[in-house]
Amino acid sequence: MGFPLIGETGHWLLQGSGFQSSRREKYGNVFKTHLLGRPLIRVTGAENVRKILMGEHHLVSTEWPRSTRMLLGPNTVSNSIGDIHRNKRKVFSKIFSHEALESYLPKIQLVIQDTLRAWSSHPEAINVYQEAQKLTFRMAIRVLLGFSIPEEDLGHLFEVYQQFVENVFSLPVDLPFSGYRRGIQARQILQKGLEKAIREKLQCTQGKDYSDALDLLIESSKEHGKEMTMQELKDGTLELIFAAYATTASASTSLIMQLLKHPTVLEKLREELRAHGILHSGGCPCEGTLRLDMLSGLRYLDCVIKEVMRLFTPISGGYRTVLQTFELDGFQIPKGWSVMYSIRDTQDTAPVFKDVNVFDPDRFSQARSEDKDGRFHYLPFGGGVRTCLGKHLAKLFLKVLAVELASTSRFELATRTFPRITLVPVLHPVDGLSVKFFGLDSNQNKILPETEAMLSATV
């Protein structure tokens, strides 16, 4: 169980994925430890995870670590239980409906296109993980929430939000200079900024060409007979940013890294885009915006995104507290204990996947469908009544990013080797991912003159 108070938290942070695998090899798929200030039972394996996820409300109930609960706030979907949770999911579900995603899509595509142009015009290599965080944060603020925050204020808000996210999973010790205290301070600043943005948005409703997530959230809450308070709106927007920001930035970085590692996958993706008229045979992208039906027809692209989410799931798992003692894998799981079901380790050890450490999108093709033998072997978005509400938005964002990367960008690793991976607060490269992007002329499939000039100057 480790040291007093901190338990094995230090081992967990330092060892990363090695922490879980070493203890699983020694103790099996169900073992106890002590993380983030409390004793905990870690659980791996499809059948074990299935029992936990399907046992919501009668065997287990959600309970994130204290630091996470306090920093995200009491009014969030992730922290609510029972009827409150069910009602909140109904309210929030409208944000991620097919119609809502269709309206977000052109805006998401524009944000990604602008970002890739900026990356390509940069004379030096960029840190992909840091830039992906800025991209997903901008998408959440501008597209999802529709906030018109000035660029300077947006940059400051992003820095504060980074401090907030870095401490969401911290020891819940409220002392000066502790991570938990820094997280609380960041939350207070964010709440003030979000309240100001919400009030300004509610006062200015002219000139809107689509309903953003905050509009839909307010509208949906009224439809369900409960108008949201300002505190609920602030907590709701903070949770939306958190959901759209950290995990999507992680997955975006993993996507770019795998396309760099596997050029044959990138070329096969381009072949599919050509076959569907999204990319001309000469290499230049076609005119016009993407549509949901267009993206849903790209089967290989879907396989690529699924494989990224299998091998590089952004979060390790989910937390529950035990409501009544039950048996799991031959062990008694005592009432009152905390349980963490492991997503990444369950997928890594799932017998349905062949060569689990190999990046192989074709494992999800119709010919193979390795994930068809039981859905709890593959659960990057969780499962049961708490399946991630925003999973379709996350996959949509990743698909648009992949299409734009394949259509308009040439990029290469700027270091000799690929970076190590760490798992906290989400999976990401330890020192970022250093990549040089090159601007392409969409008409001639050549490096743009201004980019070429900057490259020459650098040389």
Domain ranges of the chain: 9-458
Nearest to 394 by CA among 304, 300, 305, 298: 305
Task: Tell which CATH classification among 3.40.50.1240, 1.10.630.10, 1.20.58.760, 3.40.50.300 matches the domain 9-458.
Answer: 1.10.630.10
Name the CA dihedral angle for 228, 390, 270, 300, rounded to a multiple of 10 degrees.
-150
Confidence of residue 343 (pLDDT cuts 50, 70, 90): very high
Q: What is the pLDDT, as a whole number, of residue 447?
A: 41
Angstrom distances, CA of residue 126 to CA of 63, 341, 414:
38, 35, 9
Contacts of 111 (CB under 8 A, 6+ apart): 135, 138, 139, 142, 143
Confidence of residue 91 (pLDDT cuts 50, 70, 90): confident
∠ Cα 284 290 294 (to 5°): 105
Is the predicted pLDDT of residue 117 greater than 70, yes or no? yes
Q: Position of tokens 């409501």?
A: 323
**Residues of the binding site for heme:** 388
Q: What is the pLDDT, as a whole number, of residue 201?
A: 86
120 CB burial (10 A radius; 0-12, 13-18, 19+): buried
**Residues of the binding site:** 388
Q: What is the pLDDT, as a whole number, of residue 306?
A: 97
Cα–Cα distance between 339 and 328 in angstroms, integer?
11
Is the predicted pLDDT of residue 52 greater than 90, yes or no? yes
Is the predicted pLDDT of residue 450 greater than 80, yes or no? no
b/e string for 129-140 if b means 16 or more Cβ within 10 A?
Answer: bebbbbbbbbbb
Q: What is the pLDDT, as a whole number, of residue 456?
A: 35
Q: What is the pLDDT, as a whole number, of residue 284?
A: 62
Nearest to 410 by CA among 285, 307, 248, 312: 285
Does the model's pTM come out above 0.85? yes
Confidence of residue 273 (pLDDT cuts 50, 70, 90): very high
3-state SS string over the chain?
CCECCCECHHHHHHHCHHHHHHHHHHHCCEEEEEECCEEEEEECCHHHHHHHHCCECCCEEECCCHHHHHHHCCCCCCCCCHHHHHHHHHHHHHHHCHHHHHHHHHHHHHHHHHHHHHHHHCCCCEEHHHHHHHHHHHHHHHHHCCCCCCHHHHHHHHHHHHHHHHCCCCCCCCCCCCHHHHHHHHHHHHHHHHHHHHHHHHHCCCCCCCCCHHHHHHHHHHHCCCCCCHHHHHHHHHHHHHHHHHHHHHHHHHHHHHHHHCHHHHHHHHHHHHHCCCECCCCCECCCCCCHHHHHCCHHHHHHHHHHHHHCCCCCEEEEEECCCEEECCEEECCCCEEEEEHHHHHHCCCCCCCCCCCCHHHHCCCCCHHHCCHHHCCCCCCHHHCCCCHHHHHHHHHHHHHHHHHHEEEEECCCCCCCEECCCCCEECCCCEEEEEEECCCCCCECHHHHHHHHHHC
pLDDT digits (tens, 9 = 90+) for 352-370: 999 999 999 999 999 999 9
Q: Which one of 73-87, 269-283, 373-387, 402-416 scores highest in mean pLDDT?
A: 402-416
Is the predicted pLDDT of residue 455 greater than 70, yes or no? no
pLDDT digits (tens, 9 = 90+) for 169-208: 888 889 998 999 999 999 999 999 999 999 988 887 666 6
